Amino acid sequence: GFDLICDLFDDDADDLLEYFEKTWIGEPKRRGTGRKKPQFDHKLWNIHDRVVATVPRSNNSVE
């Protein structure tokens, strides 16, 4: 999916897309298939479980 979206951007956005891939998605492995682990684990920033459990999504009580 990410590769398809990247094709829609101009070359000017390459640095931003590279940062996003390296930090949040994980770079493609050089050998074989799959991706390396991202800098931040998906469990850290995924709020699906919190939404299902109806608990706050952040520590900001104003939301």
CB 61, CB 55: distance < 8 Å: no
pLDDT of residue 63: 57
Written as six digits, the tokens of 20 are 């996003």
Report, in this order, helix, strand and coil percent for the chain, each rounded to 5. 45, 5, 50
pLDDT of residue 54: 86
Q: Which residues of the chain have pLDDT under 50?
A: none
Q: pTM of the entire structure?
A: 0.59
Dihedral (CA of 13, 8, 42, 45) sign: positive
